[in-house]
Amino acid sequence: MLLAIDCGNTNTVFSVWDGTRFICTMRTCTNHVRTADSYFTWFSTLLDHYQIEPDITEVIISSSVPRVVYNLRVFADRFYDARPLVVGKPDCLLPQNPRVDAGTAIGPDRLVNAAGAFDRHGGDLIVVDFGTATTFDVVDTDGAYIGGVIAPGVNLSLEALHMAAAALPHVDITSPEKVVGTNTVACIQSGIFWGYVGLVREICARIKDERDRKMKIVATGGLAPLFQQSENLFDALESDLTMHGLTVIHQFNKDIIPPHDS
């Protein structure tokens, strides 16, 4: 079985793929001081809890935080005797090569999203991911990642207001019914929610204009459902898009490099 690991700047997600479906998904905070032993303690405790005994033989990692990769490599090697594929490293090939400015270190999560979305929907896509950052990944007709947009994430924007303004409390995102808030919390919620609705609409419209073609908008990330329920901004909503992309990239590398006998 395959263990797929997606390390974002806020959360790290482990999912076990049995070849047909994800049999479990576990989430922890991203922390570069976490050791291989500590990942295993956390992971095996949850596997015990769910009474799952997966036969993990392969590991793939996508990490937006370069510093965590070392300990995850040690984790894969020590506990599963596996040499992980790491997205963005030269030995991890992508189904389609990205077309961006030379020297650009594209976020592995964006490459993975592009591969996962192309596998499910074909080309000419905008993938919107509501993570620590809100990213837009543009996928060309042939499935290549060709660039996109990076905006601050929803929770980051809420936190920034609280941090910078003495009188503004920490507020959780919600979809307000009205635009005009009649208290401080409602005013902030309105600014963030409707502000992001506008941001998503405007950026997608401008990408379609610039590309001069029809494009499908696929959304993922924790807050995508909130925007979809209220405003129907996306053509598809897929909570497992990054994990799916990891299985696609893993399979692609397996198919082109058949395992040795012996």
Ligand X SMILES: CC(C)(CO)[C@@H](O)C(=O)NCCC(=O)O
Ligand Y SMILES: Nc1ncnc2c1ncn2[C@@H]1O[C@H](COP(=O)(O)OP(=O)(O)OP(=O)(O)O)[C@@H](O)[C@H]1O
List the catalytic residues.
109
Taking CB under 6 A as the criterion, the residue among 59, 69, 171, 173 binding ligand Y is: 173
Cα–Cα distance, 85 to 73 (Å, whole number):
9
- Positive or negative torsion for Cα 126, 131, 100, 62: negative
Hey, which residues does 133 pair with through a beta bridge? 152
| Residue 8 touching K ion (CB under 5 A) | yes
Q: Is 81 annotated as a binding residue?
A: no
Q: Is 108 annotated as a binding residue?
A: yes
Taking CB under 6 A as the criterion, the residue among 197, 215, 226, 236 binding ligand Y is: 226
Rank residues 47 and 138 by Cβ distance to ligand X and give the closer one.
Answer: 138
The residue among 41, 6, 35 whose CA lies nearest residue 22 is 6
Burial call 68-94: b when 16+ CB within 10 Å, e when fewer? bbebbbebbeebbebebbbbbeeebeb
| Residue 150 touching ligand X (CB under 6 A) | yes
- Give residue 44's identity as a one-letter amino acid code: S
Site string for K ion, 117-136 (x = CB under 5 A): --------------x-----
| Residue 8 touching ligand X (CB under 6 A) | yes
Rank residues 8 and 116 by Cβ distance to K ion and give the closer one.
Answer: 8
Taking CB under 6 A as the criterion, the residue among 108, 116, 131, 245 binding ligand Y is: 131
Site for K ion in 13-32 (CB under 5 A): none
Taking CB under 6 A as the criterion, the residue among 18, 37, 48, 172 binding ligand Y is: 172
Rank residues 39 and 130 by Cβ distance to ligand X and give the closer one.
Answer: 130
Cα–Cα distance, 262 to 141 (Å, whole number):
40
Burial call 142-162: b when 16+ CB within 10 Å, e when fewer? ebbbbbbbebebbbebbeeee
- Count how many Cα atoms sit within 13 Å of the Cα of residue 174 in the half-sphere of its side chain: 13
| Residue 131 touching ligand X (CB under 6 A) | yes
- For the record, the structure tokens of 99 come out as 């077309």
Positions in the binding site for ligand Y (CB under 6 A): 8-11, 130-132, 172-173, 221-223, 226
Residues that bind K ion (CB under 5 A): 8, 131
Binding site for ligand X (CB under 6 A): 8-9, 64, 106-107, 109-110, 131-133, 135, 150
